[in-house]
Amino acid sequence: MLLDGSRTGPLGEASYEALAGFTVDQGSLATTDYLQTIIWAARQSMDFIILPGPLRLACRFVGAPLAHVLGYEATYKKYTTTGKLPPLLQA
């Protein structure tokens, strides 16, 4: 997976804790569910640079909303070191 984007993104450290968490849970990044990776990358304002432009747009504007509807999130409370999500994600 080749990504291009900000280093911390809007979710900050919690996003990388989430990436590590769901990667460990699913065995490796290569076996992590694509929709999980798409929603994570979209919330970080990252693009899959290995994909052609139209597929990048499809990931961000179709794949990420679809992942959310199906119950995927960009980060999960269980993966954060403090057990708290950034204010952006608190309900």
How does DSSP classify residue 12?
T
Q: Please, which residues have CB within 8 angstroms of residue 86's CB and are 6 or more apart in sequence?
A: 10, 11, 12, 14
| H runs (alpha helix) in the chain | 13-25, 34-43, 53-58, 64-69
| pLDDT higher than threshold 80 for residue 54 | yes
What global pTM score does this model have? 0.68
Confidence of residue 70 (pLDDT cuts 50, 70, 90): very high
Confidence of residue 76 (pLDDT cuts 50, 70, 90): confident
Task: Supply the pLDDT for residue 88.
Answer: 47
Task: Supply the pLDDT for residue 63.
Answer: 92
Task: Supply the pLDDT for residue 9.
Answer: 56
| pLDDT higher than threshold 90 for residue 75 | no
Average pLDDT value over all residues in the chain: 75
